[in-house]
């Protein structure tokens, strides 16, 4: 099973920046009456920003009239019910499994295969599940003179 880290942003601008750092992401956008025009414009430009990224939209039921508009703009899914969140999660998981992994250098590959790699940061007080954003821990002092 593929694990993915979730990252929350507070604006479409911040989302665009993070998308640049994490190509091929699955983005979930919250539609509100006040952000609808900007969200639709953002969706329509998503393919130009990152052709591998996909976006779904969640909204209050009162905004269900926007479904056709956001789908035409590029959303792969539109959710107005908490009952459909499981389907949204499966869709995100499936997408992330199909996106090619970024190429990593030999040091990163070797470090990930070492048996103590996941415990190395514990002594330094790091999160036991791994460094932020899922990037491998790289002890450069071990590999550099």
How far is it, in rounded angstroms, from Cα 29 to Cα 46?
Answer: 12
Instruction: Give the count of domains, the chain.
Output: 2
112 falls within a domain:
yes
CA distances from 12 to 37, 40, 91, 121, 144 (A): 12, 11, 21, 33, 40
138 falls within a domain:
yes
Q: How many CB atoms lie within 10 A of CB 40?
A: 18
The candidate with the shortest Cα–Cα distance to 12, out of 32, 31, 34, 39, is 39
| pLDDT confidence of residue 88 | 87
How far is it, in rounded angstroms, from Cα 70 to Cα 68?
Answer: 6
| pLDDT confidence of residue 38 | 96
Residue 39 burial (10 A CB sphere; 0-12, 13-18, 19+): buried
CATH number at residue 34: 3.40.50.2300
| pLDDT confidence of residue 32 | 96
| Full residue range of the structural domain in which residue 22 is found | 12-98
| pLDDT confidence of residue 139 | 45
pLDDT averaged over the chain? 80
What pLDDT tens digit does each residue of the chain (145 aa) get?
A: 446 678 899 999 999 999 888 888 999 999 999 999 999 999 999 989 888 899 999 999 999 999 999 999 999 999 999 888 888 888 888 888 887 776 777 777 777 777 765 666 554 455 444 444 444 444 444 444 4
5 falls within a domain:
no
| pLDDT confidence of residue 62 | 96
Residues 38 and 91 in one domain: yes
Residues 32 and 86 in one domain: yes
Tell me the pTM: 0.66
How far is it, in rounded angstroms, from Cα 118 to Cα 37?
Answer: 44
| pLDDT confidence of residue 3 | 60
| pLDDT confidence of residue 118 | 60
| pLDDT confidence of residue 1 | 47
Residues 44 and 112 in one domain: no
CB 56 within 8 A of CB 27: yes
Residues 27 and 94 in one domain: yes
| pLDDT confidence of residue 71 | 97
Residues 48 and 72 in one domain: yes
Residues 127 and 67 in one domain: no
């Amino acid at each position: 099973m593929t694990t993915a880290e979730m990252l929350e942003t507070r604006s479409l601008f911040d989302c665009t920046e993070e998308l640049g750092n994490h190509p091929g992401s699955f983005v979930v956008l919250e539609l509100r009456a006040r952000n609808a025009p900007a969200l639709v414009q953002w969706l329509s430009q998503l393919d130009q920003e990152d052709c591998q990224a996909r976006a779904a939209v969640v909204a209050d039921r009162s905004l269900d009239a926007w479904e056709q508009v956001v789908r035409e703009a590029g959303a792969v899914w539109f959710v107005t019910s908490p009952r459909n969140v499981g389907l949204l999660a499966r869709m995100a998981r499936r997408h992330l499994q199909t996106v090619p992994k970024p190429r990593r250098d030999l040091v990163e590959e070797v470090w990930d295969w070492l048996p103590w790699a996941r415990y190395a940061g514990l002594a330094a007080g790091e999160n036991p599940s791994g460094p932020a954003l899922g990037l491998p821990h790289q002890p450069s002092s071990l590999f550099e003179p």
